[in-house]
Structure 1
Amino acid sequence: MADNSPNPYRLPRGVVPRRYELRLEPDLEAFTFTGTVGVDLEVLEPLGEIVLNAAELEIADGDLDGVALAGVEYDDEHERAVLRLGEAVQPGAARLNLSFTGTLNDQLRGFYRSTFTDEDDNERVIATTQFESTNARRAFPCWDEPDFKAVFEVTLVVPDNLMAVSSGAEVDSQPTGDGHREVSFAPTMEMSTYLLAFIVGPLEATDPVDVNGTPLRIVHPAGKGHLTEFALDAGAFCLDFFEDYFAIDYPGDKVDLVAIPDFAFGAMENMGCVTFREILLLIDPDSSTQQERQTAVDVIAHELAHMWFGNLVTMKWWNGIWLKEAFATFCEMLAVDAYRPDWKRWLAFGLSRAAAFDVDALAATRAIEYPVVSPADAEGMYDLLTYEKGAAAVRMLEQYLGADEFRDGVRHYLRRHSYANTETHDIWDALAESTGEPARDVMDSWIFQGGHPVVSATADDDGTVTLSQSRFRYDGQPDDAHWQVPVVAAVGSDAGSRTERLVLNDPVALGTDEPAWVMVNPTADGFYRVAYEGGLLDRLLDGGPDLDPLQRYVLVDDQWALTVADRLSVSDYVAFAERMAATEDDLAVWRRLAGTLGTLDHLVSDNGRASLQARVRDMVSPVWGRVGWDPAAGEDDRTGELRGVLARTLAVGGNDAEAIARCRELMASDGVDPALAAAAIAVVAATGDDADYQEIHHRYQSAPTPQLELRYLMALTTFDDPALMARTLAATLDGTVRSQDAGFVLRGCLENRDLGPQAWAFIANQWDEINQRLPTAIVPRMLGGITALSTPNLATEVEEFLNAHPVPQGKLIVAQHQERQKINCELRRRVQEALGTKEN
C-alpha cells in the first residue's frame, strides 16, 4: 500500500495492532534470544503487504491467519520489515504470527545484557530491556510508535535458577522438563510498545509493600537486598501521593522497581516494571549524603508520576516527549517536597532551573517542543530543556492558575484522555476548561519558542519603576522574540509594601509612586531573568525586606547570568558575591555561589589565582565560623550538606592548607558524616598525588554501595598529574569502567582545569572506539565537557573535529556545547583581565 505520511519513519496506517502475545527465550550464555509473537490486528483497508518495525532481528517465518507469508524484506535505514502477503487481505480482524531471533546486545538498548559480580566473585548476566524511544523493535517485530497502543501478554522461558519479571504480574510458572520454566504474565493495560519491559537474571525481590491494594517491590541483583529499605519506603510514599494527587487509581496490577547494573539512562518508566540505575535504588542511608538520597527519591517519584503522565495518557508522537517529561519533573518536586519538607525541594530546584537557563540563553537553543522526524531526533530531545525548562514552565503556569485549580485541571485532562494519546494543546485546553483561564494563550509562547526573557526593572528620572522585556542571550545579539510573561513584583514604598501581578507584554510602570525598593519574581516561579538598573539592586539590598533563601538564590543566579552575558563586569560580580557571602548560611545559595566561584577558578590565569583564592577564603570564613568541622547534635540534613560544600570550597577554591590537611585526616577516618566524607574525597583527589590515586582507585573497585563507587570514580577525573589522567582515560575503554559511566568520566576529564586538553586529545584519537562502546544517548552528554576547553585554539580544534565527525543523535545538543565553549572563551578573557594578567 502507499504511505501517505510525509515522514518516512512513520508506519502506514492501514493496519492497527490490538493485542500481542509474545514468547521469548533468552540464552544468557550465548547472548541470543528466540521468540514468537502473535498479533491480533484490525485491518482497515485492503492490503498486499504489512509494514512494521524490526531492527537487528531475523524473522524466520510467519503467517497471516494461517496463510504463510510470501516473503520478508528489510528496510534498515527506517528500521522496518515489509511482510509480503501471498494474497490481499481484506478489512477486518486478522492474526499475524511471526518467529524471530535476535542478539542480547551490549549497547544498553532493546533487549540487552547487563553484568555484575556476585558475592563469590563470579560474573553474572542479566537480560533486560530499554525500549524508549524506538527500541522495542530490537526485541520483537512490532508497531513501534506511541499511538499504536495495544495489550501485551508476555511469556518468558528461563532457566530454573533465574528470576523473570515483566510489566504484568506473574500468573503462572510451569517447568518445561529441561531445566527451564515457562513464566507467564498477566496482560497489560492498553499501552505503547516503549513502555513494555521484561527482565531475566539472578535477581531477588523484597517482600511486597501494599499501597492501596497495589503490591510494590524492589527487584535487585542477588545479594543486595540489604540496600533496598530506603527506596522501598520512598516508592510506597510516592505511589500513594500520586494516587491522591491525580485522583485516579494506579492503572497497573503491580509495581516492581528494578535495579539494573548497566543502564544508559537514570531510569525508565516501563509500566509496572520500572528500571533504574543501581545507585537510585540500592542505598545505605548511613553512608549516603542527603543529596544522593534526594536524587534517588527524585527519580523514583519522577518514574512513578509517569504511570499516569505518559503511560495512562501518552503523546501521539515523539515531539510530545517534553510534555510527559516536564510534567513528571514537576510532579517529582511535589512528591519529594511532601515526602521530606525539610529538604526544601523547590528551593533546590533552582540549581536544575539554572542549568536549563544556561542552555536557553544560547542562540542554538530550541523550543521546548519541536518537530521530530527520525529516531535520532527523538533521542536528541532528552535534554535540560525538555526536563528542567519544561518543568519550570509548568510550575510557572501552576502558580499563575493556583495550585488547587491547576491540579483539578490535570485531573480533568487525565480522566478525559485515559488510555489514549494526546497533543500538547490537549492539556492546555483541559486546564482552560477547568479554570476558565486562557492557558494555551499564555503557554504557547513558552513552548513553541526558544529562549526566555530578561525583565528589566528601571528607575526613571521621576522615580517611577518601569518593567520591560527582551530576549536574554549570552552573545548579546538583538532578538525580537516576545513572551506573555506572568510577572509578580514585590514593591516597597513609604506607604508600605504591596504585590503587583501582571502579564507583561509591553513596558509597564509599577504604579505612580516612587518605590523605595522593588523585587521582581520574588517567589522564583517565573522562567525569566531579572536585571535591576539605576541603583535598584542596591536599594533592594540596603533598604528592602529581609530576603528569604529562595530570593537570595535568585539574585545570585541572575547576577551571574548577567556577568556571563557581559551585562555585569566580573569585578562587580565578585564584589556582589562577597557581599552576599558575608551573611549567607543557606545550602542552595552557597551551592550557587560555590559553583560560580569554581568557574572563576577554572578561568583565572595562574598568576591571578592566588589572589582569587584569598578572596574565596575570606568569603567562606564567616559562615565557616558558624558551621565548622563538627556536626552539632540534632542538626538537619541540609546543614550537613552545607558543611560539605563549604569544606570543598575552602580547600579547593580557597587552597586553604589547614582545610586540605583536615580533609586528608577525614578520608582516613571512619564514622565521618557522609557529606563531609564526600567532600574529603573530592579535596584529596583535587590536591593529591600517585599514592592518593592508588587509594581512591582501590576504594572505587571495592566500594560497598553504588553511591561510594561513583564518588570514588568521579574523583579520579580531578587529579592533575598527566600520567594519572592517562590512566583514568584508558579505564573508560578497557572495561574497568562500565559503559554507562564511561561517558561521564570522560566529561569529567574534559572539565579538569589543567588537563582538559589531554582528555580532548584522547577522545579525538579514540573517537571510533568510544562511539562503539558508549550508548549513543551518552555521547552528546559526554561532549558537554568541551565547554570547559575555553581557549580560542581549542575551540577551533574542537569545531573542526566535530564538523568532520558529526553526532546525529545529538546534533543540536552538540551545537549548544560548542556555542557555550565560545562564550566561555570570551568569559575567560574578561575574567583574566579583571582578576589577573591575561595568559598568552
Structure 2
Amino acid sequence: MKLKVTAPLARYCGAMIVMMIVVTGAVRAEPVFSFDATPGKLSKTVVPINYSIELRPDAESLTLPGVEVIDIEVREPTARLTLNAVNTTFASVTADDSLERADVALDAAAETATFTFAQPLAAGAHRLRIEFTARINKFDRGFFFVDYPTDSGVKRLLTSKLEPADARRIFPCWDEPAFKASFKLTVVIPRHLLAVGNMPITKEESLEANLKQVAFAATPKMSTYLFVLTVGELERITAEADGVTIGVVATTGKAAQGQFALDSAVKLLAWFNDYFGVKYPLPKLDLIAVPGGFGGAMENWGGITFFESRLLFDPATNPDSARRGIFSIIAHEMAHQWFGDLVTMAWWDNLWLNEGFATWMATKAAEQFYPQWQSWLNGYGAKQFAMGLDARRTSHPIQQPIANESEAMIAFDAITYNKGQALIRMLENYLGEAAFRDGIRAYMSAHAYGNTTTADLWRALERAGHKPVTDIAASFTEQDGVPLISAETACNGDAQRLTLRQGRFVIAPARAAALPPRNWQIPVAVGPVGTAQSADVVLLHGSTEVPAGSCGEATKVNLGDIGYYRVEYGPASMAALAKALPQMSPADRVNFLADGWAMVQAGRAEPSSYLGLVENIGVDDRRPVWDQIITAFSALNRLSRDRPERPALQRYISARLRTVFDRLGWDGSGSGDDDNTLLRGSLIWTLGELGDEAIIAEAKRRFAGFLSDPQSLPGALRDSVTHVVGITADRATYDTLLTLARKSTVTNERLRYYYAAAAARDPALAHATLALTLTDEVPGTILTGLIGSVASSGEQPDLAWDFLQKNYDALFAKQGPQFRDQFIANFMTNFSDERHAAELAAFAPVQATSGGRAMVGRAQEVIAISADLKARALPAVDAWIKARK
C-alpha cells in the first residue's frame, strides 16, 4: 500500500487543517559541494586525472606486484606528494621522463606514502611512474583470496573490496571519494583463469609460462573505492539490455544458477534508466558471485561483487522465497550505479546519500515488479531497528562528521541505511512521486561524474516539488534522535479535536541524565482508522490542534506507517485505538504495536499495556503483525536467560505462538513464497528456541527423513528445521551437521549446517565450534557469525567471550581491522550486566581507533539499557502472566 498525502493544507473530515509552526531551532543544510572544502586528509594541491595500472597477482605467494603510471595535475608547485598506501613496498618512484627516484616515506598510522623529489614539480600536468608490491589479504579488505570447495578439490579465487578506503591496499592512490579519476587496468594472470574488471576486456595476449596479459578499457571518472578486479576459474552468462551487456559471473559450473539474477538485472536496468532520466553509461554490467570473503555485496561500477548465496538461486537448495532477497540486493547495488557511482558523495559524512537512497530504491523496485511481496509492509522492521538505535544517547546524525577510516567503516549502520531509507520515503510521500522523481532526475543530470553533498539533493527536490524540503530534511539529517509525538483527543459536544505535541523519544537507563531536546519539522499523517489512502498531513514543528471527527472516533497518527517518529497516545485515544485494532490496516496495526513495545522499552508504559494489545491480535493476522510480536517476545526471552522468570515466560510465549502455528500446521498450503510459508518457518525457529517439545520432536523426525530423502523436506522449512535440530544436538547430530557442511559445495547449504552446529547448547559442542573457527575449514565470511551464534542461539556468551580474549591475536590475523573495531563491541551486547561492560572497556585492542572507541561506547549503552529493561520489565511480565493464569 502506498500512502498518498495531500499538501500541508489538507482536507480532514471536511475541515481545514491549520498548521502551527513554531519557528525555533531551525536547521540549515550545508553549502553545495566544493572540492577544495571537502573534508579529508590529503592535500588538494595535487589531483589525479588517470591511473594506468598493471598488476601481476600471485595467488601462491599472496603478493601483488604492480606498475602504475598516474597522470596528475599539480595546482601549486611542490616537491612533496602524499597519497595513500597500506602494506606496500616501493621499488621506484619517478616523475615525468626523469630517471631520478623520489625518496619514499611511509606512515603506517596515517596509511600514506610521501614522495619527495629533488626538484619541485611545477604547476601543471605531470606523470608519475610507481613500481610497487602490495599484499593479497586473508580478510575481505583490498585484494584478497577466497578458497572454496569444488567436486575436484579446493580452488582459490582472488577479488577486491575497497569501500570505504581500501584501494590503497591494492595500488598507491588518492583514496578519497572526491578525487575522481579514470582507470585503465591491465593484469597478467594464468591463461586458464578469467579476469573481470569495471570495463570490458579490449585485448588478451598470451605470454610465456602459461600466462596471459588482459587489458581493460578505461573507465569514466570515478572514485577509487569503486575499482574492482576478480580473477579465478569463472564462467559468465549474458544478456543485452538497452545497449548494455549484462552478465552474471560465477565459479565454473554455477553460472546457470544466476539466471534469475540476470533476468532481474535486465528489467531493473530499463526501469532505472527511465527513473533516473540518465542512461547507465558503461558498456557492460557484471554481477559477480564470490563464494566467500564478505557478506552482502559491493557496488563497484560495472562489476558488482556479491556473496555467492546472495546472488545465485538453485531450486534444489534454495527456498522459493530466496528470490526476494536476491532481487532486493541486486536492486540496491544497481541503484548505486547511479546514486553513488555516477554521482558520488564528496566525503563519508554524506555516506547516507549512497546507502539510504539505494535501500529505499530497492524496496520501491520490489513494489514495482513484485507487488505481491508487499515489501514495505513486510520490511517494516528495518525502520524499527533504526529507531531503536536512534533513540539512544550514542546515536549519530545521518550526516555525521567522519575523521578517519575507522570512523568511516562504522558509519555503515542502520542509521545510515534504514533511517536514510525511511526519511526518503517520507519525503517522497510529502512531495508526491512525480515531483520527487523529477527532482532526482535533475540532480542526476546536473552532477553526473561528479561529487555532491546532501544540500545539492535538497535543492533539486525543492525546485521540483515547490515545497520546503530543505528545512524538513535537514531537521532529520543534521541532528540525531527520534521525534516523539504525543497525541490525545478531547470532545467538545459531538465533535472531537486532536492535540499533537512534539518531543524527543529516548531509550536510556533509568538513572541516565536527560538528553537535550530536539526540534523537527515533521510531515504527520492523521486520520480515522482505515483511511490511509486519503490521509491528511500536517507539517508539525512544535504543537498543533486539528479536528478529529466525531467524539470517540478512533483517530490514528502516522497512518500507513510512513513517518519516522514514535507516537504516544493519551488515555482516550489509546482506548479508542485499542478497540479499533481489528479495523486497522496491517501497516497501521504493526505500527501501533511497534510504538506500544517501544514505549515499554523506554519506560513510558508498563509491559501489561503491550501484552494486552497482543491478546487482541487474532491467530489469523498477517505475517508482519506476528513478526513484530515475535521480535518483542524474543527480546524478553533473551533477557530472561538465567532468571527465575524464564520458565513461566517461555510457557506463555509458546502457548500464544502455538495457536498461530497450529492454524498454519507443518504442511499447510502455500506456494513456498507467500507470507504463510514464511511465517511458518519463523514460528518453527522461535518455538524451537523456546524449547517447545512437540516442535523439537517433529523437527528431529523431519530432519531424519531428510537425511534419507532430501526431497522430503521442503526448501522453505530447511533453515528452521536444521536450526532447531542444531540447538538440541548431541554429539552424533553435531557431527552429522558438520559432515553435511563439509561435503557441500553450495554456499547457502554450507552456511545452513555450520550455523546450526554453532547453535548447539551443549557446552562441549560449543567448545568444539569455537575451536573450529581457528582452523582454515571455516570460511572467513562466517567465522564471526559462528562465534556470535554460540553466544546467542547457543546461549554460551561467557564461553565465547573467554575464547575471544584468549585467541584474539589469531582471530585478528584472520579477520582484519573490522574484527577489532566492530565485532568485539557488537558481540558484547549479548550481555546485560555492568561487569561485562567494564570488561569490554578494559579490553585494550578495542580502544585502538576512534571508530573502535565509538563502538565500545555504543555497546556499553546497549548493555546498560538491557540491564534496565531486564530489571524493570521481567518482574512486571511475570506478575501479569501469573495474574492472567
Q: State the TM bucket, normalised to the shorter chain.
A: over 0.9
Going from structure 1 to structure 2, the CA distance change for 1:572 and 1:702 (only over 3 Å counts) comes to farther
Which of 275, 288, 296 is the aligned partner of 2:318? 288
Distance 2:672 2:176 in 1: 51
Structure 2 letter corresponding to 1:602: R
1:25 aligns with 2:61: no
1:250 to 280, 284, 288: 280
Deviates more, 1:676-685 or 1:719-728: 676-685
Alignment of 1:151-550 (within 5 A): 151-206=182-237, 208-460=238-490, 464-475=497-508, 477-491=514-528, 499-511=535-547, 514-543=551-580, 546-550=583-587
Further displaced range: 267-276 or 670-679: 670-679
Encode CA deviations 1:222-253: one digit per residue, 9 max, x unaligned: 23234222222222232222112112111211
Hey, what's the Cα distance between the residues in 2 that align with 1:34 and 1:183? 15
Who is 1:773 aligned against?
Answer: 814
- Give the one of 767, 788, 808 matched to 2:830: 788
Residue aligning to 2:168? 137
CA 1:443/1:411 → structure 2, altered by over 3 Å: closer, same or farther? Answer: same
Residue in 2 aligned with 1:99? 131
Q: Specify the alignment match of 1:83 in structure 2.
A: 115
Secondary structure of the corresponding residue to residue 102 of structure 2: strand
- Could you say what the CA RMSD is over the residues aligned between the two structures, in angstroms? 2.5
Residues 140 and 712 of structure 1, relative CA distance in 2, 3 Å threshold: same
Q: 1:62 aligns with which of 88, 93, 100?
A: 93
The answer on 1:661 being equivalent to 2:694 is no
TM-score by length of 2: 0.89
Query: Offset of 1:403 from its aligned partner?
Result: 1.4
Equivalent residue, structure 1, for 2:6: none
CA contact (8 A) 1:49 1:85 kept: yes
Per the alignment, residue 748 of structure 2 pairs with 707
Q: Write the distance in 2 (CA, Å) between the matches of 1:42 and 1:10.
A: 18
Q: 1:442, CA displacement in angstroms? A: 0.6
Structure 1 equivalent of residue 30 of structure 2:
none
Distance in 1 (CA, whole Å) between partners of 2:849 and 2:760 is 29
> What CA distance in whole angstroms lies between the structure 2 residues aligned with 1:385 and 1:211?
35
1:286 Cα deviation from its structure 2 partner: 4.4
The counterpart of 2:779, out of the listed 738, 744, 764, is 738
Does residue 603 of the first structure (1) align with residue 636 of the second (2)? no
Q: Which residue of 1 aligns with 2:871?
A: 829
CA separation in 2, counterparts of 1:249 and 1:6?
Answer: 30
The residue type paired with residue 830 of structure 2 is A
- Aligned residue for 1:757, secondary structure, equals helix
With over 3 angstroms needed to count, the CA separation of the structure-2 counterparts of 1:821 and 1:803, relative to structure 1, is farther
Q: State the alpha-carbon separation in 2 of the partners of residues 791 and 291 from structure 1.
A: 38
- Secondary structure of the 2:605 match is coil
Q: Provide the rounded CA distance (Å) in 1 between the counterparts of 2:633 and 2:333.
A: 34
State the shift of 1:99 in Å. 1.3
Contact kept in structure 2, 1:158 and 1:182, CA below 8 Å = yes
Distance 2:671 2:306 in 1: 33
Per the alignment, residue 41 of structure 2 pairs with: 10
- Partner amino acid for 2:632? T
TM-score of the two chains, using structure 1 as the length reference: 0.94
CA contact (8 A) 2:149 2:745 kept: no
The reply on whether 1:119 has 2:161 as its aligned counterpart is no
Change (3 A) 1:351 1:575: same
- SS of the equivalent of 2:339 reads coil
Q: Which amino acid aligns with 1:765?
A: K
* CA displacement at 1:199 relative to structure 2: 1.8
Aligned counterparts of 2:552 and 2:371: Cα–Cα separation in 1: 35
Query: Within 1, Cα distance between the matches of 2:433 and 2:37?
Result: 41
- C-alpha spacing 1:675/1:555, structure 2 compared with 1 (3 Å): farther
Instruction: Determine helix, strand or coil for the equivalent of 1:251.
Output: coil
5+ residue gaps, structure 2: 1-34, 881-885
Cα separation, 2, equivalents of 1:708 and 1:15: 50
CA–CA distance in structure 2, aligned partners of residues 522 and 782 of structure 1: 40
Counterpart code for 2:51: Y
Relative distance call for 1:543 and 1:182 in structure 2 (3 A) is: closer
> Separation in 2 of the partners of 1:74 and 1:803?
23
Indicate the residue corresponding to 2:15 in structure 1: none
Moved more, 60-69 or 786-795: 786-795
**What secondary structure does 2:114 align onto?**
strand
Q: Work out the CA distance in 2 between the residues paired with 1:544 and 1:498.
A: 19
- Relative to structure 1, the CA distance from residue 816 to residue 90 in structure 2 (aligned partners, 3 Å threshold; closer, same or farther) is same
Cα-to-partner distance string for 1:763-817 (whole Å, 9 max, x where unaligned): 2222333222213235514532322312343334334436975564343233222
Corresponding residue to 2:801 among 732, 742, 760: 760
Instruction: Write the letter of the residue equivalent to 2:730.
Output: D
Compute the displacement of 1:377 (Å).
Answer: 1.5
Paired letter, 2:528: V
The reply on whether 1:564 has 2:601 as its aligned counterpart is yes
Query: Is the partner of 2:825 in helix, strand or coil?
Result: helix
Cα pair 1:57 1:138 within 8 Å, conserved = yes
Give the equivalent residue in structure 1 for 2:612.
575
Give the letter aligned to residue 411 of structure 1: R
Letter in 2 for 1:592: Q
Which residue matches 1:590?
A: 626
Deviation at 1:295, TM superposition (A): 2.1
Deviation at 1:695, TM superposition (A): 2.0
Aligned residues of 1:118 and 1:222 also touching (Cα < 8 A): no
Change (3 A) 1:794 1:13: closer
SS of the counterpart of 1:285? coil
The answer to whether the Cα contact below 8 Å between 1:790 and 1:821 also exists between their aligned partners in 2 is: yes
1:129-152 alpha-carbon deviations (Å, 9 max, x no partner): 112111111111211111111111
What is the letter of the counterpart of residue 246 of structure 1? F
Structure 2: distance between partners of 1:643 and 1:549 = 18
User: CA contact under 8 A between 1:491 and 1:515: conserved in structure 2?
Assistant: no
Matched with 2:7 is none
Deviations 1:106-135 (A, max 9, x none): 1321122222223212x3222221121111
Confirm or deny: 8 A CA contact 1:465 1:514 kept in the other structure: no
Contact 1:11–1:51 (CA<8 Å) still a contact in 2?
yes
Identity %: 32
**Unmatched runs of 5 consecutive residues or more in structure 1:** none
CA distance in 2, matches of 1:277, 1:543: 45
Task: Give the deviation of 1:491 after TM superposition.
Answer: 3.0
The verdict on how the C-alpha distance between 1:77 and 1:602 changes in structure 2, with shifts beyond 3 A counting, is closer
How many residues are paired up? 830
The residue that corresponds to 2:20 in the other structure is: none
Deviates more, 1:787-796 or 1:152-161: 787-796
Shifted more, 509-518 versus 241-250: the winner is 509-518
1:72-114 deviations in Å (ceiling 9; x for gaps): 2222222222222232222222221111112212132112222
Query: What secondary structure is seen at the aligned counterpart in 1 of 2:506?
Result: coil
Q: Secondary structure at the match of 1:26?
A: coil
Distance 1:764 1:6, change over 3 A: farther
**Does the aligned pair in 1 maintain the 2:299–2:305 contact within 8 Å?**
yes
